[in-house]
Amino acid sequence: MSAETLEPKYVAVEGVIGVGKTSFAQLLASRIDAELINEEVLENPFLVDFYKNRKRFAFSCQLYFLISRFQQQQGLMVRDLFAQRIVADYLFAKDSIFASVNLSDRELALYNRIAPVLLSDIPRPDLVIYLQASTPTLLNRIRNRNFSFEKSIDYDYIEVLNKAYDYYFFNYSETPLLVVKTDEIDFVNNPEHFDDLIEQINKPISGKKYYSPAGNLAGR
């Protein structure tokens, strides 16, 4: 399919684990002929240990992600973002959400001395898309994708993380933001749902916009 008109040149897709942000970012990048920047999740050597013992390995896991994301974002600085479309499956600034949920007070204090220095050199997206879902929906999607290291993830952890994400993006004002409720849609297996989201993205967005599509879009 040919590239479609999309005003934002740099789009970041966000959401809690299991919401489908990577799948959506891949579809979006393909649709608009953009370069895809994937978060290096599975490359993190501390990730499996983190899910076995979150308290012990949270700081190591967090630092790896922080540095990895920073290095990727630095690569964007040498690109011509005005001539090339970029879709990333994460927003660098959201790194602080996991830190606030998982780190001890002392670890968080150290993290808060490092992260702002790195953030000052990061390019801002033209648009952030926050994919939102209820905790039961997230858990169901996590179970369906069946990553072995995620089997230990429980309802309470996802609920805390989900609330932290909602709070963060409720107060987010750095860039235009599109919040999409995804409980009733399947943009991977239902092209109509994906097309509907593309239509929303193509509309001018200033500030914050909330969109809650129904699972059956035939009557629009």
Instruction: Count CA within 13 A, CB hemisphere, residue 38.
Output: 10
Q: How far apart are CA 60 and CA 47, in angstroms?
A: 9
Q: Residue 128 forms beta bridges with which residues? A: 12, 177
What DSSP string describes 140-196? HHHHHHT-GGGTT--HHHHHHHHHHHHHHHHT--SS-EEEEE-TT--TTT-HHHHHH
* CB-CB neighbours of 42 under 10 Å: 10
Check 33, 80, 89, 154 and give the catalytic one: 89
Placement of tokens 């967090």 in the chain: 62
Nearest to 33 by CA among 8, 1, 7, 11: 1
DSSP count for the chain of H helices, then E strands: 8, 6
State the amino acid at position 150 in one-letter form. E
∠20-22-26 over CA atoms, to 5°? 120
33 counts as catalytic: no
**Residue numbers annotated as active site:** 89
